Amino acid sequence: MGLMDDAQDVGKTAGRKIKEAWEDTTDKLGDKIDEVKADAEVRRAEAERDAVARKNEAKAAMRDD
């Protein structure tokens, strides 16, 4: 019986380690996705800011003429 118990313990340990590795991987992937989304939002906001600034400059130039 000792050999069967050892085999079961090894199987349970391997299963637990695989599960933990999977959870770590999905957490890291989720973090990376959040990072990419945040970077995209920043780029969008910066582009919008620049567009508004150019529009305001154009309006000011038209008023000055």
Backbone angles phi, psi at 10, to 5 degrees: -65, -45
| pLDDT, tens only, 24-56 | 999 999 999 999 999 999 999 999 999 999 999
* 11 within some domain: no
| pLDDT, tens only, 51-63 | 999 999 999 999 8
* 46 within some domain: yes
The more confidently predicted of residues 1 and 65 is 65
* 12 within some domain: no
Domain interval for residue 55: 21-65
How is residue 4 written in tokens? 């069967």
Q: 23 vs 28, 30, 33, CA distance in Å? A: 9, 10, 15
Task: Evaluate if pTM is beyond 0.85.
Answer: no
Number of domain units in the chain? 1
How is residue 33 written in tokens? 């996705």
